[in-house]
Amino acid sequence: MIILYQKEFDILQIKEEKKIKSGIRVGPFILDFSFDNKVIGIEILGASEILNMKEKDLSSIRDAKIKNIIRQDAILIIIKLLMKKQDVQKEIPIAIPLKVWDDEMNSIQDNLNFFIDENLDKFSDRWLP
């Protein structure tokens, strides 16, 4: 797990060491998805305020885990932070309504389809016999 806190921008980044398929921004969160559509990375903008943590504590995170739970009306992402001092743990639940999720995924697909349609001639000239 890659954990980086950028104090000057108050951004906490937590990412698994996997290839990222896509990413979306939902409020103060930027979520990165794997090829099987699981959240494998998260950036929290304004982390100290969102997480109600001091900057020194955000800088002392030694490990983290990201858990995805799909519910009927939302996707719940739970981030478990392990702090350096005294094995302190903090769990942060983030709920994303499925409507927001579906809209974002459809938008990504629409943009991809548009890009392919607009550039198909360029690609076919290069890669098709």
Q: What is the pLDDT of residues 35-49, one digit of tens each?
A: 887 889 999 999 999
Amino acid at residue number 26: V
As a whole number, mean pLDDT of residues 5-25 equals: 91
Q: Are 65 and 79 in contact (CB under 8 A)?
A: yes
pLDDT of 34 above 80: yes
Q: Which domain holds residue 60?
A: 2-127
Question: pTM, whole model, 2 decimals?
Answer: 0.70
Please give the tally of structural domains in the chain.
Answer: 1
Q: CA–CA separation, 129 vs 43, rounded Å?
A: 43
Q: Residue 123: is its pLDDT beyond 60?
A: no
Q: What is the pLDDT of residues 62-114, one digit of tens each?
A: 889 988 887 777 778 888 888 877 666 777 777 777 666 566 666 655 555 55
Sequence-ordered list of residues with C-beta below 8 angstroms from that of 98, at least 6 positions apart, any chain: 72, 73, 74, 75
**Residues 114, 63: Cα–Cα separation, whole Å:** 39
The letter for the amino acid at 92 is I
